[in-house]
Structure 1
Amino acid sequence: MKIIKGIENIQQAYKDAVITIGNFDGVHIGHQALFHEVIEKADSIGGTSIAMTFDPHPIRVLTQNDHPPLITLNEQKIELISRSGLDVLICVPFSKEFAKISAKEFLEDILINKIGMKAFVVGGDYSFGKNREGDLDYLKTSSKRLGFELIVADWIQSPNNGAARISSTKIRELVMEGEISHAQKMLGRYYQIRGFVEQGRNRGGRLLGFPTANIKLSDELAPKTGVYAVTVEHEGSFYKGVANIGYSPTFDDHIYTVEVHILDFKKDIYGQKIYVNFVERLRSEKKFSGIEELSDQINKDIEKARGILSV
């Protein structure tokens, strides 16, 4: 997949471009279905399959401090979209100036003349342009006038509730509630956080006998506090693990941490980046009577995680 950063860096119009546009936060299975439809249409006409997305998220530019945490930051979003099989991803730096572009200008000058759009794949609630004036009615009228095909994709229904559609908002809520197995069904993958391993408080190995990797989060969205069975990716290899998110109530120091005990792992990874995939929530955080009781519980958590991760 070719990545273009900025509309101004498009050198020439693409052959029979088929395009979809969105923020694609989470790159969930609804987004993946849009990409699949774009690819199928492009293949059928010998064209180019294209997605356009924005960074930063438009709501962050258009509102002041009134925005939810992102499910996927731009780095991971690009990685996930690149796996879809699309030919081109156009990443547009979003600004207040860009938001002022009218629907007509965006459609005619950018999508058709600059990119070469022949088909436009959108969801049922899609709108674009200044004041969101480019709604479906506008697109239907414009498609006849300008000669491009408008494809309105069907909603992908939630596997947890067939009456509801998959949305980034719902996935965000599920992650924040610790319902990561339900979020996984909507994402089509395990929810992942990533970050660099930093020096912790030197308690895991020294006091408890379970060394942990303390993570300085790159992501904005972390699952609900508690203990989770996880897999950990480091330098292309995968390991099983147990993650604790929260405030370590047994030690009563009220410091929020994300730490992972990687099973059967001996490497020194301070300062290195790891990726943590959340498989199942094991329990809530709990204050134990002391080190011995906490250590016994961690042993139980590890055995339970081994069973879950061996399936």
Structure 2
Amino acid sequence: MKLIEGIDNIANPFPNAVITIGNFDGVHLGHQALFHEVIEKAVEIDGTSVAMTFEPHPIRVLHQNSHPPLITLYEQKVELIERTGIDVLVCVPFTREFASIPAEAFLEDILIRRIGMKAFIVGGDYAFGRNREGNLEFLKARAATHRFELIVADWIQTQSNGKSRISSTRIRELVTAGDVTGAEKLLGRHYQIRGTVEHGRNRGGKLLGFPTANIKLYDELAPRTGVYAVTVACRDGRYKGVANIGYSPTFDDHVFTVEVHILDFDRDIYGEKIRVNFIERIRDEIKFSGIEALSRQIRRDVETARNMISL
């Protein structure tokens, strides 16, 4: 996949470009189906499959004090879109100036002239341009004049909690509730966070007998506080693990942390980037009577996780 960051870095229009546009937070099964439809259409017309996304997320620019945490950070989003087989990903730096571009100018100057669009595949509620004026009616009225085919993709449905559309909003709700297995069904993969291992409070190994890798979240969505069976991808392989998300009530810290005990692992990974995939929720975070009681419970959690996970 070719990654182009910025409209001005598109040297020439793509041959018979078939494009879809969106934020694609999560790159969930609905997004994946959209990308595959773009790819199939591009093959049909001997063209180029193109996806356009934005960084940062438009809501973070337009509503700075009220925006949801991200399901996938930019790095992971690019990786996941590449896996779908899309030929070109155009990432547009999103600004208020970009948001003010009229739909007509966006269509003519960017999609038609710059990208070379021959087919546009969108969802049923898609709209672009200033004040979202580039809606389906707008596109239908201009498709013949600008010689592009407009294709409205069907929503991908889920049977969980009744028949409803797969959406980033629904995935956020599931992860926030701790239902990482439910989120997996909509994502098509385990929910993942990633970060650099930092020095913690130096008590996991010394006090409890279970050393932990501590990672700091930035914009990612954190699952509900509790203990989870996880897999951990490090530089040298993939391991089973147990993650505790929360405030360590037994120690009365009141500081939010993400701590991961990696099973059968003793390498120093401070400063290394790791990826944590959430397999299943084990239990709530509990305040124990003391360190010994907490240590016994962690031992049980480790065995539970070991039995839940297959590598």
* CA–CA distance in structure 1, aligned partners of residues 218 and 230 of structure 2: 17
Partner residue in 1 for 2:98: 98
The residue number in structure 2 matching 1:255 is 255
Q: Is the 8 A contact 1:196 1:217 kept in 2?
A: no
How far 1:62 sits from its partner (Å)? Answer: 1.3
The aligned residue for residue 55 of structure 1 is 55
Q: Which residue of 1 aligns with 2:232?
A: 232
Please give the alpha-carbon distance, in whole angstroms, between the structure 2 residues aligned to 1:296 and 1:15: 63
The 5-angstrom pairing of residues 1-311 of structure 1 reads: 1-235=1-235, 237-310=237-310
The alignment partner of 2:205 has SS state of: helix
Q: Deviations over 1:69-125 (max 9, x none)?
A: 111111111111111101000000011111111111111111011100000000010
> Structure 1 residue 173: deviation in Å?
1.1
TM-score by length of 1: 0.98
- Work out whether residues 197 and 274 of structure 1, in 8 Å CA contact, stay in contact via their aligned partners in 2: yes
- The answer for unaligned runs of 5 or more in structure 2 is none
Query: Does structure 2 retain, via aligned residues, the 8 Å contact 1:177–1:224?
Result: yes
Deviates more, 1:20-29 or 1:135-144: 135-144
Match of 2:254, SS state, is: coil
Amino acid at match of 1:93: P
> Cα–Cα, structure 1 residues 162 and 40, in superposed 2: closer, same or farther, change >3 Å?
farther
Counterpart residue type for residue 200 of structure 1: G
Q: How many equivalent pairs are there?
A: 311
Q: Aligned partners of 2:247, 2:171: CA distance in 1, in Å?
A: 24
Q: CA deviation at 1:286?
A: 0.4
Give the 3-state SS of the residue equivalent to 1:250 in structure 2.
helix
Where does structure 1 lack aligned partners over 5 or more consecutive residues?
Answer: none
SS at match of 1:181: helix
**Does the residue aligned with 2:84 lie in a helix, a strand or coil?**
coil
Secondary structure of the structure 2 residue equivalent to 1:204: coil
Instruction: Give the Cα separation in 2 of the matches to 1:216 and 1:59.
Output: 23
Structure 2 vs 1, CA of residues 156 and 89 (structure 1 numbering), >3 Å: closer, same or farther? same
The answer on whether the counterparts of 1:55 and 1:74 sit within 8 Å (CA) in structure 2 is yes
- Per-residue CA deviations over 1:158-205 (Å, capped at 9, x if unaligned) read 241452101101101111110110001101111101111111111111
Matched to 2:62, the amino acid is L
- The answer on whether the counterparts of 1:194 and 1:218 sit within 8 Å (CA) in structure 2 is no
Q: 1:291, 1:84 → 2: CA distance?
A: 47
2:57 & 2:111 partners in 1: Cα distance?
20
Q: 1:129, CA displacement in angstroms?
A: 0.7
Aligned partners of 2:162, 2:122: CA distance in 1, in Å? 21
Q: In the aligned structure 2, how far is the partner of 1:261 from the partner of 1:115?
A: 47
Q: Deviations over 1:256-283 (max 9, x none)?
A: 1100000000100011111000000000
